[in-house]
Amino acid sequence: MEYKNSYIFLKRNDKEKDIPKKDNAIIIKLPPSFRYLLKKTFINIKFDYEDSEDINSGKFTIENGSKKIEILFKYYSVMSNCYLDIIVESKNVMSAVSTLNKINDMLFAKNNFFDEFYVSIISYDYSSEYYCNKLYPYLNEFERKLRKLLFNIYTLNFNLDYYVAIPNEEVKNNIKKGSKEINKEINKLNNGNVSVEDCFIKYGFYSLEYSDVDKLLFTKYISSDDETKLEEFLKNNKDLTKLSDSELRKKFKLSKPKNAWERFFNNKKMDDNFQTTFNLIRIFRNNIDHCKFISKKQYDECIKLLKQEIKSLDTAISTTEQKDFLNRNIKLSYEYINKISEIINEFIMNSYKPLMDNIELINQPMKEINEKIKLIVNPVSSIISNMTSSVLPEVELLKYNIPNYFNDIKTENDNKKS
């Protein structure tokens, strides 16, 4: 298979020079031909056409490791500018890329033969194409997993209002604008009819640019919840002089501005230097997305970062789904049980209240009668307690025993029978 790099060599404008004269002879110093510079660069080069300057082709060999690689070339000369193609035929793409990289080094080395006479351009760089293609799946996976984590964490904490909870107005506006555009295209493709309000929820984090994600995660802010807690603290502690220095520092440290990363992601076992890494990946991402230069060194650095952060995102997603989801369900279960208990208590109180009210109504007349009896009995009790036992021998003080007249009646009947 053929792998090709293309180059343009633009002839520099000749500067005016003093033309030395000797014995009335004019000496003109001519710049070297492009063909000559190729010979100086690739010592064993062979041209297909010995006398042609406008168009030519041929081959040369270079050593790459322990192997000698045959290289094909072809160039056109137009208005003193040259358009060069370098072609490597190989069954192994990595070997071809390595060879093309070596040729780049020879053409653009610090002391190369071309820079004095030409300004060189790489018009097609297969090596960068190869590295971009190799990196893109990892970049794709990184961004998609980061988006999944954003959706998981924000919907878990804010439910349907997740995009409204974003404090950065610029990011929030970009979500609305981008979501509408996505919704318009998807509705057109699928003959759908997703509402504008729903599209903000469905496509919120799909509509964000990389810079928006940076602002979303790393812009510090004080939330309304922070303000409420601080106000409550100040309300409960009107005299702050009574608090210790450590108590005050602890409270105001908790109330200082924090970014979303610190609030929601810090406990997900992710890379501590994620913000730095995120910005490094952004540079590589721009090169990949716009098909720019990617060297072997840049490729090695980028692939290492992407693999590292993908692993970190996997850990965070796993922590969220296995731990945070469970904890939220447990919390909701407790809240549900407490709510049910409140409902049952309220039902019982509401059900028994009429009965309790009726019992109170029934008891009220009895209480009034009891009070009247007390008014009668208490004076009598007082009189009786002052009588001596000789006047009323059958009556024992404080007991009010009734005499047993029935026993006397029974005795009289028995006497008559006898």
Q: What is the pTM of this model?
A: 0.72
Q: What is the pLDDT along the chain (418 residues), one digit of tens a residue?
A: 999 999 999 999 876 555 566 666 666 677 899 999 999 999 999 999 988 888 999 999 999 888 899 999 999 999 999 999 999 999 999 999 999 999 999 999 888 999 999 999 999 999 999 999 999 999 999 999 999 999 999 999 899 999 888 988 999 999 999 999 999 888 888 777 888 889 999 999 999 999 999 999 998 888 777 777 777 777 777 777 777 777 777 767 667 788 888 888 877 777 778 889 999 999 999 999 999 999 999 999 999 999 999 999 999 999 888 888 888 888 888 888 888 888 888 777 777 666 666 666 666 666 666 676 666 666 655 655 555 444 444 444 444 444 454 455 445 555 554 4
Pairing of strands 25-26, 21-22: antiparallel
Classify residue 292 by its DSSP letter.
-
Return the closest-CA partner of residue 34 out of 18, 45, 25: 45
User: Residue 331's domain spans which residues?
Assistant: 130-221+257-341
96 and 33, same structural domain?
Answer: yes
Residues 213, 289 within the same domain: yes
Domain for residue 241, yes or no? no
Any domain includes 374:
no
The answer to whether residues 116 and 188 belong to one domain is no
> What CATH number should be reported for the domain holding residue 85?
3.30.530
Report yes or no: 115 and 31 within 8 Å, Cβ to Cβ.
no
Domain stops at, among 341, 374, 391: 341
Q: For the chain, what is the domain count?
A: 2
Question: What SS3 state is found at 273?
Answer: coil
188 plus 268 within the same structural domain: yes
Q: Are residues 202 and 287 in the same domain?
A: yes
Q: Measured between alpha carbons, how far is 58 from 67 in angstroms, rounded to an integer?
A: 20
